Structure 1
């Protein structure tokens, strides 16, 4: 803990929520970010990077310009006790505030649990090569990840046979209107994606992402991927201000919270904004901000030029509107701005 009047804030996790908190408080506190990765990984675009190797470099963004005053500690938090964080290296950090932003695990390639950027990039390129060699692709899980991956594969390789299987009889269950589901169905049909709802498929005999022919549950395929199974690092109970209940000085953002809403990058960012505002409010004596859980909203790309979306505020979106929102750069430019990086294409050393 600091010995002067400036409060200290430990942000455990440098993902979507963590970088928002750290950046917002850099001018008001001694901020330390604990993160095992050597770069920020823009997982929103990870599936695009699998089908298009030109995207691989684009989704790994350096942290080194995010903070002016604060610092990064490249390490993994093994235990968080109140405002004390024990690291895998054996060191212990303490702060006036600790923000838990450790996110969630998800099967590769939607998320890469590889701290070294060079190794992670090599794996993406290897997966692209395996996928290129496969004519028949099986995706297990028809949630947003499975459908987005199906759209990316079908758009990149129109001749591949892509099958998506899910035990749920309903496409995208949740608070979505039938018009939205019908639009997703329609575009999948146009892409030639075979959708098997109400179909439980046992795990294939080959390793996921590894080319090799097999037949399972009457489905013939050359490669498969698991597209379900979010695993939150924890499920911290938080109050309306995103303080961890019963733990003074501890806050939580993103997938680790028990907030009843979808687990998405944009919501982790929204949490980060609330927590940063509330820590600042405690420093200045201002009123705390309440986080209002977001209703179900989804903007689902199905390849660079397709997709569908729904939100209570804007209704149902078709392919052109979805592509305008997400299809182009999948928000790479936005996160480059968050991380204080030059726009893509700016020559090194030259201001944008």
Structure 2
């Protein structure tokens, strides 16, 4: 007899196969949650939790936000296994973890995104946000290195919540937010200056030569900046180096991204998919699109488990140029296919709640049950 959960999801129609998901970020977590009643799901992630990434910067100025945005994997993965470890290799049938454990798969999804140095457990991550908030509160002047979405959003959060503090943003490029259009960048620069944020373009800061105790920072042009603390907000490297000696080494492009087909399968592979920032899908790398990847692959896995013809697989259509960057609690800049806008309207859409409530609902957190977390020594 089917369990009540299986009966509700119709899982009895499917042969339960092992699906291994490597990476528990916003894409991998959503995928694992979505297919957990259709397959024997194993999630491999070095952290015990996933974060709602577009709310991280708000958590630095308001640490209580992190209580809802840092979510233990077992809170949503109620019918799967969690291995708290890093993957270091892939064979045609197994994923190898850092401890040498071999996890057999029938279908594999790689969702490792960008490399991070975040703590292993949720409690330590919450404490990290508290420490960063204390650093902001205790500083009269703050340097932000990097003018991409992370640096811009952090500068905006600090400028809005702590208008008395001197904020300086240094960016190595000729304009802010180089991943979107010039008009959006110009509007953002004007907004930051209106909040008394000093923006220095075409300059960089060598972090290897930084002595934070001296509170003096030199840019590549020789300009001197005095600041009580700094935040390094440049792009993190892709977490794909572990694939360079694997069976997927020839599937990586020159930028280290996994090449995928229209179904988000790794090119040349029948049972391996990739989702999120690690893919070579030609679109802006944002969490919302990574979630779309997850839902397409979830549908395709369900179809493959049921054994349909290849022609029935869902296709992913790369998104048109669209992006939204928060500017504090009320404003945002939005680049849409046919217009660019800044201020309260896009801010009302994103900045007030940062899609936290919607994301939590999407993860089904109101219907949680205990799940098993497996450390490398227990499986």
What is the TM-score normalised by the length of structure 2? 0.81
Structure 1 residues 211, 322: CA separation in 2 closer, same or farther (over 3 Å shift)?
Answer: farther
Contact 1:151 1:303 in 2 (8 A): yes
Aligned pair partner of 1:305 in 292, 312, 330: 330
Contact 2:180 2:335 in 1 (8 A): no
Instruction: Report deviation, 1:175.
Output: 4.6
Structure 1 residues 297, 160: CA separation in 2 closer, same or farther (over 3 Å shift)?
Answer: same
Instruction: Report deviation, 1:243.
Output: 0.9
Contact 1:104 1:230 in 2 (8 A): yes
Structure 1 residues 58, 212: CA separation in 2 closer, same or farther (over 3 Å shift)?
Answer: farther
Between the aligned partners of 1:145 and 1:89, the Cα distance in structure 2 is 33
Instruction: Report deviation, 1:83.
Output: 3.5
SS of the residue corresponding to residue 154 of structure 1 reads: helix
Between the aligned partners of 1:61 and 1:186, the Cα distance in structure 2 is 36
Residue 357 of structure 2 is aligned to residue 333 of structure 1: yes
Instruction: Report deviation, 1:11.
Output: 0.9
The equivalent residue for 1:214 is: 216
Instruction: Report deviation, 1:205.
Output: 4.4
CA-to-aligned-CA distance 1:145-203 (integer Å, 9 cap, x gap): 1110100111111011111111211232345252x233212211221111111223333
SS of the residue corresponding to residue 105 of structure 1 reads: coil
Aligned pair partner of 1:324 in 329, 348, 359: 348
Structure 1 residues 94, 292: CA separation in 2 closer, same or farther (over 3 Å shift)?
Answer: same
Residue 195 of structure 2 is aligned to residue 191 of structure 1: yes
Aligned pair partner of 1:293 in 312, 318, 322: 318
Residue 157 of structure 2 is aligned to residue 152 of structure 1: yes
SS of the residue corresponding to residue 307 of structure 1 reads: strand
Count of aligned pairs between the two proteins: 331
Residue 284 of structure 2 is aligned to residue 280 of structure 1: no
CA-to-aligned-CA distance 1:218-259 (integer Å, 9 cap, x gap): 222221111113211122121121111233311111111122
The equivalent residue for 1:243 is: 265
SS of the residue corresponding to residue 40 of structure 1 reads: strand
The equivalent residue for 2:249 is: none
Between the aligned partners of 1:41 and 1:72, the Cα distance in structure 2 is 16
Range with bigger deviation, 182-191 or 195-204: 195-204
SS of the residue corresponding to residue 88 of structure 2 reads: strand
SS of the residue corresponding to residue 163 of structure 1 reads: strand
SS of the residue corresponding to residue 259 of structure 2 reads: coil
- Superposed, which structure 2 residues align to 1:115-134 within 5 Å? 115-134=120-139
SS of the residue corresponding to residue 171 of structure 1 reads: coil
- Structure 1 residue runs of 5 or longer lacking an equivalent are 107-111, 344-352
Contact 2:179 2:284 in 1 (8 A): no
